[in-house]
Structure 1
Amino acid sequence: MSEYILQTKNLTKKYKHDFALNNINLTLKKGEIYGFIGQNGAGKSTMLRIATGLAFASSGSIELFGNTSKKYLTQAQKRIGAIIENPALFPNMTAYENLEVHRLQKGIPGKDCIKNTLELVGLLNTGKKKAKNFSLGMKQRLGLAIALLSDPEFLILDEPTNGLDPMGIVELRVLIKKLNREKGLTVLISSHILSELHQLATSYGIIHKGKLLEQLTSKELDEKCRQHLRIKVDQPTMGATVLEKELSTTDFEVMQDGTMKLYNYLDDVRTVSRALTNNGLVIEHLSQNGDSLESYFSKLVGGAEHE
């Protein structure tokens, strides 16, 4: 069995002269919560629509659960639960009635799944209240319930927190983590807000103007955004020795250009400076650096603009 739930190879979607997706090579492993991030119009929804069979690529290939044949993809897409754009709700029906309609449409046997799913998303006690009277957060959870009704292996959510208040965002985050942890559900979430996904995702794909700029794990992202002292001295090798021996730290990196990144002593720059100068080193640069998640994304996107 493939370790990948979803893979694409040179996936391209073109509308007349414009590329919605341009040679996308995306990999999503089983058990991940994959944060798919990009500005509005970057191509996120197009990618998700192709993955769920709601749209078709112009060229390239897509693989689901280790298979690429068109016949198998149709079957594989039945193993996916998805909310693409707004959840399809019947406003004059209760939560239970909404799920019953979708159960019948999907041919799911038995009604036990309705109660179980409503309990899972926290809507079991909504009684006769109609969906049109639900709060936005409740509507999002009902949409999620519809996506989960068939007990999918792979969950795709397109901008699921749009319009939610902070409490609604927290509730949704807790629920997704629970589904991932307890049911082993693989999740793909698109958003244009990196800080929102940072508390949830285990890996990321960053897309801009139809191009996948980068894929990285949450650990790799944290390392890139980690606060540090950027130090440049006239003798980098000696500088590293001073940090290790005089300051008793190994929490630093020496970059290819000789610059050192020191991840502790952030609040004690004077001690670092003194240790270096006392050992005869000339400090050419010393500053505190580190991106916020938003600035990292902005720099990455800004760099792509000028390629």
Structure 2
Amino acid sequence: MSEYVLQTNGLTKKFKASYALDKVNMSIRKGSIYGFIGQNGAGKSTLIRVAAGLAFPTEGTIELFGAAEERELVRARKRIGSIIESPALFPNMTARENLEANRILRGIPGKDCVAKTLELVGLQGTGRKKAKNFSLGMKQRLGLAIALLGDPEFLILDEPTNGLDPMGVVEMRELLKRLNQERGITILISSHILSELYLLASHYGIIHHGRLLEQVTAEELKAKCQQYVHIKVDNPDKAAAVIQNELGTSDFEVMPDGAIRLFKHMDRPGKISSVLAAEGLEIEQFMPMGEDLESYFAKRIGGADHE
């Protein structure tokens, strides 16, 4: 049995003269939550559609649960649940009727799964309310309920928190964590809300202009996200010169707002502050900080544009 739920090898999708996917080699380990990161048009949705069988690659191969042949892939996709773009709902049906219709269409035996799935996503009390009258958050949860019918082993979610209010985003995050931890469901999730992915994902893939730039675990990302001393003084230009001359390092950045990020001498905060003060600089802010997923992503794709 493969330790990977999804693997691609040289996966390429070409539209006329442009590449939506360019030789992508991706591996998603069983039991992980894989945060898929990229700008609009980077290739996230194209890869997700290929994985779900809604599009076909121009070149390269894809494996699901170790299956690579077309017939095997068709069977393997029955083990997947997905929300791609926006959930496909019957607007004039209730939540229960939507799930029952999908259960019948997909040939899922037994009716018990409908009530259990509604309870799982917190929609058991919606009664006769029709889907067209649901809030956006309720529609997203109903879409997730449809994806969960049939107890999938792998969930593919394309922007599942899109349009949700802050509380809805938190609820969706906690639900996905529970599905992963309690049911062992592997999750591939693309999202623009990188701060949420940072709290959720165990693995990340960064895609840019159709190329997968990097795959990294949460632990590796934490190590890569540099720690620094955040310094705000009354004269940033002078402070930059002092840091370079007196502390002997050029490993710092002056941000657009004048704040300085010093990546060296983290273990010598007293030395840093005393050197700055000795040169007559007024220190307004001085604190240790660390980069987050958003800043790491911006730096990674910024570098990719110049490769």
Asked if TM exceeds 0.5, the reply is yes
Structure 1 residues 2, 94: CA separation in 2 closer, same or farther (over 3 Å shift)? same
Contact 1:118 1:124 in 2 (8 A): yes
Paired with 2:202 and 2:289, the residues of 1 have a C-alpha distance of: 24
Paired with 1:195 and 1:233, the residues of 2 have a C-alpha distance of: 36
Q: Secondary structure at the match of 2:171?
A: helix
Corresponding position of 2:174: 174
- Mapping 1:194-205, distance limit 5 Å: 194-205=194-205
Structure 1 residues 59, 7: CA separation in 2 closer, same or farther (over 3 Å shift)? same
Moved over 3 A (4+): 228-234, 259-265, 271-274, 287-290
* Correspondence 1:208 to 2:208: yes
Corresponding position of 1:35: 35
Q: Give the counterpart letter for 1:16 in structure 2.
A: K
1:220 deviates by 1.2
Instruction: Give RMSD over aligned pairs.
Output: 2.4
Paired with 1:160 and 1:262, the residues of 2 have a C-alpha distance of: 41
Structure 1 residues 197, 264: CA separation in 2 closer, same or farther (over 3 Å shift)? farther
1:306 deviates by 1.3
Corresponding position of 1:294: 294
Q: Secondary structure at the match of 2:187?
A: strand
Corresponding position of 2:145: 145
Paired with 1:218 and 1:137, the residues of 2 have a C-alpha distance of: 27
1:193 deviates by 2.9
Paired with 2:133 and 2:290, the residues of 1 have a C-alpha distance of: 45
1:233 deviates by 11
Paired with 1:101 and 1:75, the residues of 2 have a C-alpha distance of: 22
Corresponding position of 2:187: 187
Contact 1:228 1:264 in 2 (8 A): no
Residue deviations 1:120-173 (CA, integer Å, cap 9, x gap): 000011110111111111000000000001100000000111100000000000
Paired with 1:260 and 1:142, the residues of 2 have a C-alpha distance of: 46
Residue deviations 1:189-246 (CA, integer Å, cap 9, x gap): 0113321200100000000110101110111111222423599999x9xxxxxxxxxx
- Mapping 1:1-307, distance limit 5 Å: 1-228=1-228, 269-271=269-271, 290-307=290-307
Q: Percent identity?
A: 65
Q: Bigger CA drift: 292-301 or 175-184?
A: 292-301
1:261 deviates by 5.2
Paired with 2:245 and 2:74, the residues of 1 have a C-alpha distance of: 60
Structure 1 residues 23, 124: CA separation in 2 closer, same or farther (over 3 Å shift)? same
Name the count of aligned residue pairs.
271
Q: Scaled by the length of structure 1, what TM-score is found?
A: 0.83
Paired with 1:164 and 1:140, the residues of 2 have a C-alpha distance of: 8
Residue deviations 1:88-121 (CA, integer Å, cap 9, x gap): 0011100000001100110011100000000000
1:270 deviates by 1.5
Q: Give the counterpart letter for 2:306 in structure 1.
A: H
Q: Scaled by the length of structure 2, what TM-score is found?
A: 0.83
Q: Which runs of 5+ in 1 are unaligned?
A: 237-258, 275-286
Paired with 1:113 and 1:169, the residues of 2 have a C-alpha distance of: 25
Contact 1:37 1:193 in 2 (8 A): no
